[in-house]
Amino acid sequence: MIAITGATGQLGRLVVEKLKDKVPASDIVALVRSTAKAADLGVASRQTDYDRPETLGPALEGVNTLLLISSSEVGKRAAQHRAVIGAAKAAGVKRIVYTSLLHAGTSPLSLADEHRTTESELKASGVPYTILRNGWYTENYTASIPSALAAGAFVGSAGEGRISSATRADFADAAVAALTTEGHEGKTYELAGDEAWTLADLAAEISLQSGRGIPYKNLPEEEYAAALAGFGVPEGFARMIAGWDVGASRGALFDDGRQLSKLTGRPTTPLSAAVADALKQAPQVGN
C-alpha cells in the first residue's frame, strides 16, 4: 500500500490523481487532517495530524511506501516530519519518499534548515528512503499574474537570477515515478525545470500573451516585502517571500541537471504554457 501525507493539498491531490493511473485505487491511502475534505479523491483516507502523534501509528498500519510531502507549516516542519518518520519506522514502512528543497544541503534559503534536518533524520532512521529535492513551483510566480495585470508591472527582488522552476504537475509526476518504479532507494534527486528564466523573462511572456506592456520592476528586499504586505500578504510571510527572491537573485533556484525530466521521462512544462494557463484563470483586467 502507498500512503500520501498532505493528500488534500495542491501537490498531494495531483499525486493521488496521477498515482491512480499507475496502481489500483485500493492500493492508495490518503493521510489527511480532514477525511471529509478527502471524500472526492477516490481513495481511502485516514485521519492524520502531525501534531497529534497518537494518530500516526494507526494511519500507517499496513503501509509499504510512504510519500511524506513536506508540511506547509514553516517553523514546525522539522518536529512534524520527525514524528512521521518515527511512526513510519515503528509501523514497519519499507520506504519513505520525502519532498525536500532544491540543493537543500547548500541552499541559502531560510526554508532549507528544516529540510536539512529532516533529511539527516530520515537517513539516520534506518528506513530506506528516496529524497526528492523539489525546486520552485512555477505557480509560485504565475499566481501573481492577476496582481501584475492590475498594477501594470510585475514586481520582485530576484534581479537577474535564473529560476529553474517546474509546475506542480511536473513534480507530481516525479513523485509518482519514484513511488512506482524501481531503482530509487537511497537516492537524492535535484529536481528542477528544463528551462531557466528570469522575472524579466516572465514579465515579457505575460506581456506577449496578454497584449499588454507588463515590465518587471526589481525592488529592494524591504520594499518588496512592504509591497506584498500591501497586497494583503501577512507581514512575516511577506518578509520570507522577499528573502526567497533575494536568494533567487544569487542562484538559489537555478539548476541545469535536468534530473526532473529524466525521472519523469518527459520535458518539464514550459514557462509559456504555465503563463497561458494562469491567464486563462486570471480575472480580466481592463487596459
CATH number at residue 206: 3.90.25.10
Tens-place pLDDT, residues 219-271? 999 999 999 998 888 999 999 999 999 999 999 999 999 999 999 999 999 99
pLDDT in tens, 94-120: 999 999 999 999 999 999 999 999 999
Statement to judge: residues 201 and 231 lie in one domain: yes
Whole-angstrom Cα Rg for the chain: 19
Examine the domain organization and report whether 11 and 107 are in the same domain.
yes
Q: Quick one: pLDDT at residue 286?
A: 43
* Claim to verify: residue 120 and residue 157 sit in the same structural domain: no
Asked whether residue 27 falls in the same domain as residue 60, the answer is yes
Give the CATH number for residue 10: 3.40.50.720
| Inside any domain, residue 275 | yes
Say how far apart CA 119 and CA 56 lie, in whole Å.
19
180 is a domain residue:
no
Residues 130 and 157 in one domain: no
Shared domain for 110 and 215, answered yes or no, is: no
Q: How many domains does the chain have?
A: 2
Sequence letter at residue 212: R
pLDDT > 90: percent of the chain: 92
Residue 171: CB partners within 8 Å, gap ≥ 6?
Answer: 11, 99, 132, 134, 137, 191, 260
Provide the pLDDT for residue 231: 82
Enumerate residues 6+ apart whose C-beta is below 8 A from 149.
206, 210, 212, 214, 282, 285
Query: 127 and 47: one domain?
Result: yes
Instruction: Provide the pLDDT confidence category of residue 282 given band limits of 50, 70 and 90.
Output: confident
What angle is formed at CA 176 by the lines to CA 89 and CA 166, rounded to 5 degrees?
A: 115
Q: What is the mean pLDDT of residues 280-284?
A: 74
Domain with 221 in it = 142-146+152-161+194-255+268-281
> In this structure, are residues 191 and 174 in contact, taking their beta carbons and an 8 Å threshold?
yes
Q: Does a structural domain hold residue 187?
A: no
Residue-wise pLDDT for 131-156, tens only, equals: 999 999 999 999 999 999 999 999 99
For residues 202 and 243, membership in a common domain is answered with yes
